[in-house]
Structure 1
Amino acid sequence: MDNPAKQRIKQEYKQVVAIGGGHGLGRVLSSLSFLGSRLTGIVATTDNGGSTGRLREDQDCIAWGDLRNCLTQLAPKPSIGSLLFEYRFNAESELDGHNLGNLILMALDQLCVRPLEAINLIRGLLKIKSKIIPMSEEPTHLVAHSACGDRVFGELNVDSMSQTPISMTLEPEVEATCEATNVVKNADLIIIGPGSFLTSIMPPLLMPELGKAIQDSNAKLIYIDNIGQEAAPAGNISLEQRIAWCEKLIGLKKIDQIICHESVSCDDERIVRYALKNQFNPALHDKEALIKAIADI
């Protein structure tokens, strides 16, 4: 039988949407996977590093890495399908470092009309009930603008900036996936974060259609903060500033609650603090603690 926290979430919310990217979004989706088809992840597609970056440079495609990670987090385990999907080549050839899941998604994308169709085929193969939607089905890159007028192109370069950017944009400007905006409009709980603030949380929110969909939704909106401080430049942005950035992009709608680790120091009355660290890996959010926090608020 489900624990009380899971039961409360099931009773309270018919449609839950989590927005972000990287391992943070994957952790949230994995924690809430008991919701099945009532859970949707909207995933950033601007990564340009590693296997994903090499495929993007060669094929001019969207970034598959975060999408693959979210699918893997949701896939029932253990299974041959999930093991194959996460397999990474280690050989002295052009395949070295490539992830098989990225290659499969890219190949299916070339066989399908839309990237979302490729994702849904993998969901079917891996028996994943929750939905995964790319923030956009058009390739785009993250661009940061500094106070001195510099323009920094691509996630890898943004992550290595010495100064905190004053603004972010997408280049080229792309439209949000229509399925993403529709599910956001009809959600009754929207979760932003955790994850790298500049390179996982910002990209989806930079699309006006998605920000407008959040603004038009009647959903409760919560922000889940990271456990530890990020490396520069995101680490120089305070929690208050991060909330302000998010709220500027989503317009009139305000974040209702902010879930933080118990050690966070901030006076915002919307903050609720929990012991969120996983005991086996303190860098990760504990799944049961996340479930309890979401249920309580």
Structure 2
Amino acid sequence: MQLQQLRKVTAIGGGHGLGRLMATLSFLRHRLIGIVATTDNGGATGLLRDAHQCIAWGDIRNCLSQLANQPLAKEVLNYRFNSDSALHGHNLGNLLLYTLDELSARPIDGIQLLSRLLKVESRVLPMSESPTDLAGASNEAFDCLGELCVDELPNMPKRLMLSPPVKATPEAIRHIRQSDVVIIGPGSFLTSIMPPLLVTEITQTIAESSAKVIFIDNLLKEQSPAGNLSVEQKLSWMAKQLNTQLVDLVITADKQAYTGPLPVISGVVAEPGMPHRHESNSLLHAIERALEQLEIAPRP
């Protein structure tokens, strides 16, 4: 398997899509890292952020729960307290990550400790260890603060930014520099894929690296302004926001969904009964075909 020969692989996105991708590639073990969006401000994550001004833990928890090859561990991490509890609305995994962070020197120390407890060998890293929010400009001014607001915009924002700007996690930058391939997506375009790329150091490092970049599109139209965009329009919008074109190849379920100049791999299918979720074997096969088409070879 060509993937097995690669030195490093970096995956970028949010909880659900990134977690599925990392679980599919988990055989890479320590050679795989995920750089996770930390701007969520809704649900249980929003409750914690409002009270403690911390990074968003929900997508990190989601990735770890999909990587943990232990059904009970997944149930524990995803357990949500009901209305009979004083912790109503909170998620046990988020609280655990927050507690480990409080006991650790850095957020990634707490994540690494939980990863060891769950026997997760791939590295899950926050895009930044400092709290920040996603902000959107519907016209000239940034008048929409938070992921919830961005998702509810009637049209694509003119611009996105992080408020305040934050520095990338150093370990993430180091791993990108060593990577043979960077995989972006699948996931919510504006709120899972874009936030890590809005960290200037992350995008600059990808652009300056020799790694090839693969974009994996969603299987279904998402419920956000980006749901009305074609793959080509998403990549064009991304390039305009980032002032650089990062992507070298597109993976999509339907080859007709992308008519742009980049090479495209199609044929990925959904998990039976879960139309939004990529079936692991077809996703793995598509990535292997992408590596062949891009002629990616491991560096010495």
TM-score scaled to structure 1, two decimals? 0.93
Q: Which residue of 2 aligns with 1:71?
A: 64
State yes or no: 1:18 paired with 2:14. no
1:84 deviates by: 1.9
Q: Which residue of 1 aligns with 2:273?
A: 280
1:274 deviates by: 1.1
- Structure-2 separation of matches of 1:39 and 1:150: 35
The equivalent position to 1:27 in structure 2, one of 7, 20, 30, is 20
CA 1:107–1:252: 2 relative to 1, 3 Å: same
Q: Which residue of 2 aligns with 1:245?
A: 237
- Structure-2 separation of matches of 1:237 and 1:181: 30
The equivalent position to 1:153 in structure 2, one of 134, 145, 160, is 145
Task: Point out where structure 2 has 5 or more consecutive residues left out of the alignment.
Answer: 291-300
CA 1:202–1:283: 2 relative to 1, 3 Å: same
Which structure 2 residues correspond to residues 45-84 of structure 1 after superposition, within 5 A?
45-78=38-71, 80-84=72-76
1:251 deviates by: 5.1
Secondary structure in 2 matching 1:202: helix
Residues 238-280 of structure 1: CA distance to partner in whole angstroms, max 9, x if unpaired?
3112112333455556411100012643312422211322223
Counterpart of 2:167, as a letter, is E
Q: Which residue of 2 aligns with 1:234?
A: 226
- Structure-2 separation of matches of 1:65 and 1:118: 14
Q: Which residue of 1 aligns with 2:297?
A: none
Secondary structure in 1 matching 2:134: strand
- Structure-2 separation of matches of 1:37 and 1:173: 29
Counterpart of 2:204, as a letter, is K
CA 1:110–1:254: 2 relative to 1, 3 Å: closer
Q: Which residue of 1 aligns with 2:95?
A: 103
Secondary structure in 2 matching 1:165: coil
Q: Using the TM superposition, name which of 209-218 and 226-235 deviates more.
A: 226-235
- Structure-2 separation of matches of 1:29 and 1:264: 27
**Mapped contact 2:65–2:73 kept (Cα < 8 A):** no
**Mapped contact 2:57–2:94 kept (Cα < 8 A):** yes
State yes or no: 1:208 paired with 2:200. yes
Q: Using the TM superposition, name which of 282-291 and 265-274 deviates more.
A: 265-274
1:230 deviates by: 1.4
- Structure-1 separation of matches of 2:277 and 2:73: 25
Aligned pair count?
289
Q: Which residue of 1 aligns with 2:296?
A: none
**Mapped contact 2:9–2:180 kept (Cα < 8 A):** yes
1:233 deviates by: 1.2
RMSD of aligned Cα (Å):
1.6
**Mapped contact 1:222–1:257 kept (Cα < 8 A):** yes
State yes or no: 1:135 paired with 2:136. no
The equivalent position to 1:112 in structure 2, one of 104, 112, 122, is 104
The equivalent position to 1:293 in structure 2, one of 283, 286, 290, is 286
Q: Which residue of 2 aligns with 1:8?
A: 2
Secondary structure in 1 matching 2:74: helix
TM-score scaled to structure 2, two decimals? 0.92
The equivalent position to 1:195 in structure 2, one of 169, 187, 190, is 187
Q: Which residue of 1 aligns with 2:30?
A: 37
CA 1:150–1:139: 2 relative to 1, 3 Å: closer
Task: Point out where structure 1 has 5 or more consecutive residues left out of the alignment.
Answer: 1-6
Residues 47-97 of structure 1: CA distance to partner in whole angstroms, max 9, x if unpaired?
00000000000000000000000011111123x433322222123233112
**Mapped contact 1:262–1:276 kept (Cα < 8 A):** no
CA 1:249–1:157: 2 relative to 1, 3 Å: closer
**Mapped contact 1:164–1:233 kept (Cα < 8 A):** yes
* Percentage of identical aligned residues: 47
1:221 deviates by: 0.8
**Mapped contact 1:211–1:249 kept (Cα < 8 A):** no
**Mapped contact 1:40–1:133 kept (Cα < 8 A):** yes
